[in-house]
Chains A and B, each alone.
Chain A
Amino acid sequence: MPHSASRGDASAETDNSSLVELFAGYTISATFWLVFATFVAIVLAYKFGAPDFGGGAWLTFGRLRPIHTNATFYGWASIALVGLAYYVAARSCRTQLYSIRLGWIGLWLFNIAAALGTIALDLGYNSGDLEYREWPWPVRLVFVAALVVTAVNLLATVARRSTDDIYLSNWYTMGGVLWTIIIATVGVLPWYQYGLGQVAVSGYYMHNAVGMWFTPLALGIFYYALPKLLSRPIYSYALGILAFWTNLVFYPIIGSHHFLFSPLPWWLQTIAIVFSVAMLVPVLGGSANFLLTMRGRFGEMMHSYPLAFIFIGVVGYLVGSTQGTVEAFRSLQEVWHLTSFTVGHSHLTMYGFVTFAIWGGIYALLPAATEKHAGRLGMALHFWLAVVGSFIYVIAMSIGGTIQGLDWVQGKPFIQSVIDIGPFYVWRGVGGILMFLSHIVFAWNVWRMTVGPSATPVAVTSPATMEAA
């Protein structure tokens, strides 16, 4: 049953170039949105220290903030992950992608949605400040259309596989796309979303749009890229399946932990806390599986940046998700709820986990596909700027948010919490600038791996080569 997902199958070669183009197209698109979204983020971070900077409606904080989050979610992460999912599906199923054309149509739809959504938000067409579903509903329907196209393409690809088994990665990617069609549809229909009813839907939506979309797709990358980089099967295929089903059953239940102490029914909040603890099963199971796959070979990160990116992604998954469980306890929510601690948590997960997973996947798979390489220096710069930057970011927001929460608990005048977190906003900006610089380097690396001049190949991804050397 273990499947090393090794490449080199001849069947894919004929259709190789169009798949590679598609993969490159998704990656380039996504990279554009990453740079755009995080440039907006720098402007936002700067405003915390200079609130009069960027006056005027179009640059006001409350319009740029959802532009940042939505462009990150639906521009960067969604597009990058779907590109990877296509490539992984075709390769792991040892077949051709069902339709290259549908792939391109989906990419256009994703981009149209992200562009229209960004413009709408900047013009003040915000659908209720409801987090991660701020785009006007027609724009969100374009995104749903992109998901449907993607689901059809992925399923049809898996259906025509030449392998007997369906490799685990595809469980996660197909599931993620199918579930997210439900999430997006539930989020857009109006009939059960009045007053407190909408609060219940918001809790569900804002949580599931992250954890049933980005998480499964990013995990799908781990399950494919890690064995590939190490030329060694995943430690336990069965553990991966256990994590799949437990994640599916536990995760959708925990959304209401975003509204602890709200007037939502107490049972809805309590059940969310209970299953937040249950999430330790898939999280610890999944993380252990990845780390055990790497057992005895951690040193290879010294030579392989793709492996290092994935390792950080796995650690981000483990730490970020465990932190999520801990945060769900009422006793800790009393301090952390509504503070910037949550901002730290969301960056630890969406950045430390999802974004690093994507980078690891791209560096592991794209050069092999295009036969063009990012230079070692480029990858090193990207890696260290991103790691150090996000470390500073998360630590600053965690400490600052805790101080904020403690100020409130002590009953200090509210403005004191604004003053006390001030220095940490500055540190967040410092981390953010390093992160943004890393994205510029990443964009340069993507250029070299796709349309630009390739660097000399860095033959570090295969341990066989290293042993020979």
Chain B
Amino acid sequence: MKKLLLIAGGSTLVYFVLAMLMAVLPGLTLSRTPPGPNVKPLAAVEAEGREVYVANGCSYCHTQQVRPLAEDAAFGRPSTAGDFVYQTPELLGSERTGPDLTNVAKRRGSAIWQYIHLYNPRAVVPESIMPSFAWMFRVVDKAPAGVTAVPLPKGFAPASGVVIPSHEAEVLVTYLMSLKQAPLPGGKTAAQPAAASPQPEHAAQAPAAAGHAPAGGADIAHGKQLVDDNCAACHQADGSGLAGTFPPLKGNAVVNAADATEHMHVVLFGLEGKAIDGVKYESPMPAWGDQFSDKDIADIIDYERSSWGNHGKPVTAADVAAVRAKGAGK
């Protein structure tokens, strides 16, 4: 009996103490983390959308944690402890089969895009392997008043009728569109405490500094990288857009205009409700100014102005800085 007590009881006691030290005590302490600046609880409808996210296991392929590493800079500033206060269950995730969604409302800032993408990801991202969530939508003859039909491109739309989102899809998209990092006081880039960073030089860098070429002169390769990662979701990698839904950049009058001020203004501050080359678009163009440096935006614009047959005059980081300084109102 003594032997049994020693082996079973002794080892269980040791294990109990370790479980307290490694799980329960850290859990207790960290559960009391104060919210970070500007971190707010979710609205009821966003919380409902979060439940749809959980029920369908979105977090098996999408993380919601930005690490203080250069490779994560594309997803936002490094996550801080205060970011997670209202996030129970935690959805940090363990795999990135798809991209991180911490900041997806900024990176894919169009609910219309989200609906199309949810209905069939390949309608907007041809190489995507994300499942289609068409079962969260209904096909009806005519969209009821107050409901906007999802503007699906040809080949993805049903043969007849229009596609409208179910309640599930609506709350899910509302949740996704709420996923943006709270701005930290003192700038967009949250450098973690030096002690908390394995690579302080990375943590201190601006988010978009990954893979940056030496300063000065247009870096078309870098511009392409940023466009493919951020702009192509709507405007497509070949600049052709999605007819009637997202405007093409190829042959676009603003992109080819000699004066690039408007081009820079749209990228920096976004655009909504204005006809582009005679077509009115439902989806707003999100503002990218707070996600990218002047140099990044110059690279993006120069890539757009020199690709797909476009012949716009290139701009410099200084030009972008000048437009930025004038502010959204011009």
Contacts and interface: CB of A to CB of B under 8 A. Distances in A.
Interface string B142-186: 000000000000000000000000000000000000000000000
B96 A265 contact: no
B94 A342 contact: yes
A199 B90 contact: yes
Contact of A415 (B7, B88, B125): B125
Nearest to B18: A252
B54 A338 contact: no
B240 to A, nearest CB: 17
B30 A197 contact: yes
Contact of A411 (B71, B79, B86): B71
Contact of A338 (B4, B70, B94, B133): B94
B223 to A, nearest CB: 12
Contacts of A174: 7-8
Interface in B288-325: none
A464 interface: no
B225 A412 contact: yes
B217 interface: no
Given A178-B12, A199-B90, A60 B30 contact: no
Nearest to B3: A166
A155 B97 CA distance: 44
A432 to B, nearest CB: 16
Interface string A207-234: 0100010000000000000000000000
Contacts of A49: 129
B235 to A, nearest CB: 14
A358 to B, nearest CB: 23
A432 B77 CA distance: 38
A263 B60 CA distance: 20
Nearest to B75: A414
Given A338-B96, A411-B71, A129 B59 contact: yes
Nearest to A251: B18
Interface in A182-226: 182-183, 186, 191-202, 204-206, 208, 212
A51 B121 contact: yes
A63 interface: yes
B45 to A, nearest CB: 18
B275 interface: no
B132 A52 contact: yes
Given A51-B130, A166-B3, A192-B28, A252 B22 contact: yes
Given A61-B57, A178-B12, A192 B27 contact: yes
A196 B89 contact: no
B140 interface: no
B33 interface: yes
Contacts of B122: 51-52
Contacts, number: 254
B175 to A, nearest CB: 14
A253 interface: yes
Contact of A200 (B7, B23, B127): B23
Given A62-B57, A62-B60, A175-B11, A411 B225 contact: yes
Measured as residues with beta carbon below 8 angstroms from the partner, the interface class of chain A is 35 or more
A265 B27 CA distance: 11
B26 to A, nearest CB: 4
Nearest to B168: A57
B329 interface: no
A299 interface: no
A197 B95 CA distance: 20
A197 B29 contact: yes
A411 B74 contact: yes
A334 B199 CA distance: 11
A342 B27 CA distance: 25
A422 B58 CA distance: 20
A439 interface: no
Contact of A129 (B15, B89, B120): B89
B218 interface: no
Interface stretch (A5-13, A21-29, A119-127): A119-127
B263 to A, nearest CB: 21
Interface stretch (A34-42, A254-262, A347-355): A254-262
Contacts of B97: 340, 418
B126 to A, nearest CB: 9
Interface string B53-86: 0111111110101011111001000011101111
Among the interface residues B23, B57, B85, B87, which one has the most CB atoms of the partner chain A within 10 A? B23
A314 to B, nearest CB: 23
Contacts of A256: 22
Contacts of B225: 411-413
B30 A199 contact: yes
Given A128-B54, A262-B67, A334-B71, A414 B229 contact: yes
Contacts of A422: 129
A131 B95 CA distance: 11
B134 interface: yes
A84 interface: no
A418 B229 CA distance: 12
Contacts of A408: 71, 96
B71 A261 contact: no
B211 A414 contact: no
Given A51-B129, A128-B89, A340-B95, A175 B57 contact: no
A414 B27 contact: no
Among the interface residues A129, A192, A330, A409, which one has the most CB atoms of the partner chain B within 10 A? A129
Given A60-B133, A415-B228, A179 B11 contact: yes
A155 B4 contact: yes
Nearest to A165: B3
Given A60-B56, A65-B57, A338-B94, A195 B86 contact: yes
Contacts of A339: 95-96
Contacts of A131: 94
B135 A263 contact: no
24 contacts: A51-B122, A52-B122, A60-B135, A62-B131, A125-B55, A126-B55, A128-B91, A129-B58, A129-B89, A158-B4, A165-B3, A171-B7, A174-B8, A182-B16, A196-B81, A197-B32, A198-B88, A198-B90, A212-B15, A255-B23, A263-B80, A337-B67, A415-B128, A422-B129
Given A126-B55, A195-B87, A196-B30, 20 more contacts: A55-B131, A60-B131, A61-B131, A62-B58, A124-B55, A128-B54, A129-B59, A166-B7, A175-B15, A178-B8, A178-B12, A193-B27, A196-B81, A197-B30, A197-B32, A200-B27, A204-B23, A205-B23, A266-B195, A334-B71
Interface of A: 47-49, 51-52, 55-57, 60-63, 65-66, 124-131, 155, 158-159, 165-166, 170-171, 174-175, 178-179, 182-183, 186, 191-202, 204-206, 208, 212, 244-245, 248-249, 252-253, 255-256, 258-259, 261-266, 268, 330, 334, 337-340, 342-343, 408-416, 418-419, 422
Q: Closest 7 interchain pairs by CB? A: A62-B57, A128-B89, A197-B31, A411-B211, A192-B27, A124-B55, A261-B67
